[in-house]
């Protein structure tokens, strides 16, 4: 088990604010993230996992290309046999060509099927690796990273859009190799018999990729817009479902449903635009392919009738030679037709590549996310820790102003401290730095005798408890919402935690009831007490961090939550970021933050 998963068991991750319920700035940021997926350059490096298993992909392409090339000896045998029958030869003369036809047909089928299975299984493996890499990259991003993709968008990219990689990897690269090799080989087979037939096919062949490329550029842009629209709609829907109670309370149901209906209609229009372009490209492809084969057939027919006596290097084509050319003409253009048919797969696949790549990009890393916990590593002191911040500065990506800036704070073991200050002064950021959810740009954070860094963050986080502004309640029982998968928390600790938060009676009454996702079925106070019970059940947590635990609560509920918070913090170090002066007054010390200045302690 990696460090990040161990940390999450002991300390629930920092809850991210719902980007669609925080005003126009957050909404704009979400739209920018959606557009970033579709606008990233195709020349950017794709995830490492996507470059794996290329040996299998190359082998599959070679097998299917060889299968296509076997049509040449098969066509030659067919033409020879038909010519022999037309000349009145007996059955024995066509037996050998018949055996060649059967053997080549069996070989073609076997090679094509083997290559297809190999290509598909390789594509599925590469997709699984790419998803695994993207998920690991997302897990390694800090919860305070405001550029991290919204859950709905990430889910859309990983689950839906990423599936476009399978036809792209399984078919496009094979079709491209066949379109490169097979026409050249068949051109060289036709040229010794008729230079005019070879010239007709040579002139028809470039028209297909030229028009395919022209239409393909528009198809790729339309496909990227359609994928971006899909991701944006999924993110919007998921975020609105999470905030459904708030939407109902604000009377914004009609507004939200109208926006969803408009997004659905826009997605419908973009999808139809992609399909129109796909059908147009197919029509253009069939037109030029049919013209090339038809012109070749017309020439061969008139030549055999004696109406056209040129184009065969000064001689006259036999029936076998003419039939051989006619059999190769469609096969000459077939790889180009296949490439055109999967050209849309290329557009969708490369858009999916960029979508996965965008999930792996930049952002704020979670300290220690990739650091394994080795048995026997130094253990943290189980006593309430001393916390110190020494000249700490932190700057969010894209920001020119550090918040906090050159900040110093010293908290004694077991001390309860409230951090007050206007919004934007860095209260939540300070808690995140202490929690090891990000590393400071300058200065250092010390927990006890240990400096917080990439190596120590996973160990330190195991002895912290986090109570966020928007604690998430998962669908499940009271017990599963307290343990969060931590098997070391037994039933006795669960019962004690519920009793300490006055939830034992409710849990006993609703023993078999499943709590809804997001705390559906619980009041706001009950949901917060359940989160406090999580912290109470983690007896190893000697440092408790609470980010505005009484925000948006009525006076009575805020008092109950404060009492519960102080109860579980007995004998432990407690740091609370808050705007609530009543909560702050019950702490041992208050630290006032002011924009651009140091702290003022009371």
Supply the pLDDT for residue 108.
Answer: 92
Supply the pLDDT for residue 17.
Answer: 38
User: 337-350, pLDDT tens digit by residue?
Assistant: 888 778 777 877 88
Are the C-beta atoms of residues 431 and 440 closer than 8 Å to each other?
no
Cis peptide before 404 (omega within 30 of 0): yes
Q: Which of 563, 498, 500, 571 is nearest to 540 (CA)?
A: 571
Token duo for residue 461: 């986080």
User: 392-408, pLDDT tens digit by residue?
Assistant: 889 888 777 888 888 88
With the CA atoms of 283, 287, 288 and 294 taken in that order, what torsion angle do they form, in degrees rounded to the nearest 10?
A: 150
User: 8-22, pLDDT tens digit by residue?
Assistant: 334 444 333 333 333
Supply the pLDDT for residue 4.
Answer: 33
Domains present along the chain, CATH in parentheses: 20-360 (1.20.1560.10), 387-601 (3.40.50.300)
User: How many whole angstroms separate alpha carbon 114 and alpha carbon 107?
Assistant: 10
How many CB atoms are located within 10 Å of the residue 548 CB? Answer: 20
User: 500-556, pLDDT tens digit by residue?
Assistant: 888 877 777 766 667 877 777 777 778 888 888 888 888 888 899 999 888 888 888
Reported confidence tier of residue 38, pLDDT bands at 50, 70, 90: very low
Burial-class residue 218 by CB neighbours within 10 Å (0-12, 13-18, 19+).
middle
Are the C-beta atoms of residues 304 and 319 closer than 8 Å to each other?
yes
**Contact residues for 283 (Cβ-Cβ < 8 A; gap 6+):** none
User: 414-445, pLDDT tens digit by residue?
Assistant: 999 999 988 878 888 899 999 888 889 889 99
511-538: buried (b, 16+ CB within 10 Å) or exposed (e) per residue? eeeebeebbeebeebbbbbbbbbbbbbb
Return mean pLDDT, the chain: 80
What DSSP string runs through 45-113? PPPGGGGTTHHHHHHHHHHHHHHHHTHHHHHHHHHHHHHHHHTT--HHHHHHHHHHHHHHHHHHHHHHH
Q: Which of 373, 341, 543 is nearest to 456 (CA)?
A: 373
User: 356-387, pLDDT tens digit by residue?
Assistant: 888 877 678 888 777 665 554 555 567 888 99
Are the C-beta atoms of residues 385 and 571 closer than 8 Å to each other?
no
Supply the pLDDT for residue 45.
Answer: 46
Rg of the chain over CA atoms, in angstroms?
34
Token duo for residue 388: 């110190």
Q: In this model, does residue 325 exceed pLDDT 70?
A: yes
For tokens 């944006």, the residue is 232
How many CB atoms are located within 10 Å of the residue 462 CB? Answer: 19
Token duo for residue 38: 């579709």
Beta strand residue intervals within 25-136, DSSP E: none
Are the C-beta atoms of residues 453 and 409 closer than 8 Å to each other?
no
User: 141-193, pLDDT tens digit by residue?
Assistant: 888 887 777 777 787 788 888 888 888 888 888 888 998 899 999 999 999 99
User: How many whole angstroms separate alpha carbon 561 and alpha carbon 588?
Assistant: 17
Supply the pLDDT for residue 512.
Answer: 64
Supply the pLDDT for residue 50.
Answer: 54
pTM over 0.75: no
User: How many whole angstroms separate alpha carbon 36 and alpha carbon 227?
Assistant: 12
Supply the pLDDT for residue 216.
Answer: 66
Supply the pLDDT for residue 31.
Answer: 47
């Amino acid at each position: 088990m990696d460090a990040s998963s161990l940390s999450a068991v002991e300390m629930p991750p920092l809850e991210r604010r719902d980007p669609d319920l925080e005003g126009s700035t957050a909404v704009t940021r979400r739209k920018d993230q959606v557009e970033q997926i579709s606008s990233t350059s195709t020349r950017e490096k794709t995830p490492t996992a996507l470059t794996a298993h290329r040996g299998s992909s190359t082998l599959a392409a070679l097998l299917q290309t060889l299968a296509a090339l076997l049509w040449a000896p098969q066509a030659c045998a067919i033409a020879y046999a038909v010519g022999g029958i037309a000349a009145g030869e007996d059955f024995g003369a066509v037996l050998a060509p018949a055996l060649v036809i059967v053997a080549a047909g069996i070989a073609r089928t076997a090679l094509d099927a083997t290559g297809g299975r190999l290509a598909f299984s390789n594509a599925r493996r590469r997709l699984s690796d790419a998803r695994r890499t993207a998920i690991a990259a997302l897990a390694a991003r800090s919860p305070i990273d405001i550029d991290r993709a919204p859950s709905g968008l990430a889910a859309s990219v990983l689950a839906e859009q990423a599936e476009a990689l399978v036809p792209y990897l399984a078919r496009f690269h094979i079709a491209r190799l066949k379109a490169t090799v097979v026409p050249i080989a068949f051109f060289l087979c036709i040229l010794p018999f008729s230079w005019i037939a070879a010239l007709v096919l040579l002139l028809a062949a470039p028209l297909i990729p030229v028009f395919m490329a022209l239409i393909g550029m528009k198809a790729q842009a339309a496909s990227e817009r359609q994928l971006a629209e899909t991701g944006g709609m999924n993110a919007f829907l998921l975020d609105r479902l999470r905030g459904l109670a708030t939407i109902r309370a604000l009377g914004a149901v009609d507004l939200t449903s109208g926006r969803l209906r408009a997004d659905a209609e826009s997605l419908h229009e973009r999808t139809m635009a992609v399909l129109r372009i796909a059908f147009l490209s197919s029509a253009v492809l069939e037109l030029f392919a049919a013209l090339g084969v038809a012109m070749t057939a017309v020439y061969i027919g008139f030549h055999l009738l004696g109406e056209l006596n040129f184009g065969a290097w000064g001689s006259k084509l036999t029936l076998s030679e003419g039939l051989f050319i006619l059999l190769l003409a469609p096969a000459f253009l077939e790889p180009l037709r296949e490439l055109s048919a999967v050209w849309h797969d290329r557009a969708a696949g490369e858009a999916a590549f960029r979508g996965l790549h965008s999930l792996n990009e930049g952002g704020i890393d979670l300290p220690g996310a990739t650091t394994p916990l080795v048995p026997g590593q130094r253990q943290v002191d189980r006593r309430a820790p001393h916390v110190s911040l020494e000249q700490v500065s932190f700057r969010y990506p894209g920001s020119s102003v550090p918040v906090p800036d050159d900040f110093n704070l010293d908290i004694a073991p077991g001390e309860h401290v409230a951090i007050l200050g206007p919004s934007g002064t860095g209260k939540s950021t300070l808690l995140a730095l202490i929690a090891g959810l990000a590393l400071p740009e300058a200065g250092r954070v010390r927990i006890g005798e240990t400096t917080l860094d990439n190596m120590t963050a996973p160990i330190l986080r195991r002895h912290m408890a986090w109570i966020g502004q928007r604690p998430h309640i998962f669908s499940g029982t009271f017990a599963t919402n307290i343990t969060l998968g931590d098997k070391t928390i037994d039933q006795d600790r669960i019962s004690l935690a519920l009793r300490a938060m006055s939830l034992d009676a409710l849990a006993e009454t609703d023993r078999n009831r499943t709590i809804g996702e997001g705390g559906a079925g619980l009041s706001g106070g009950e949901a917060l007490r359940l989160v406090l019970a999580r912290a109470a059940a983690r007896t190893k947590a000697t440092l408790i961090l609470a980010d505005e635990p009484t925000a948006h609560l009525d006076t009575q509920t805020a008092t109950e939550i404060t009492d519960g918070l102080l109860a579980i913090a007995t004998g432990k170090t407690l740091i609370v970021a808050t705007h609530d002066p009543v909560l702050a007054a019950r702490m041992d010390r208050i630290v006032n933050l002011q924009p651009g200045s140091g702290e003022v302690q009371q």
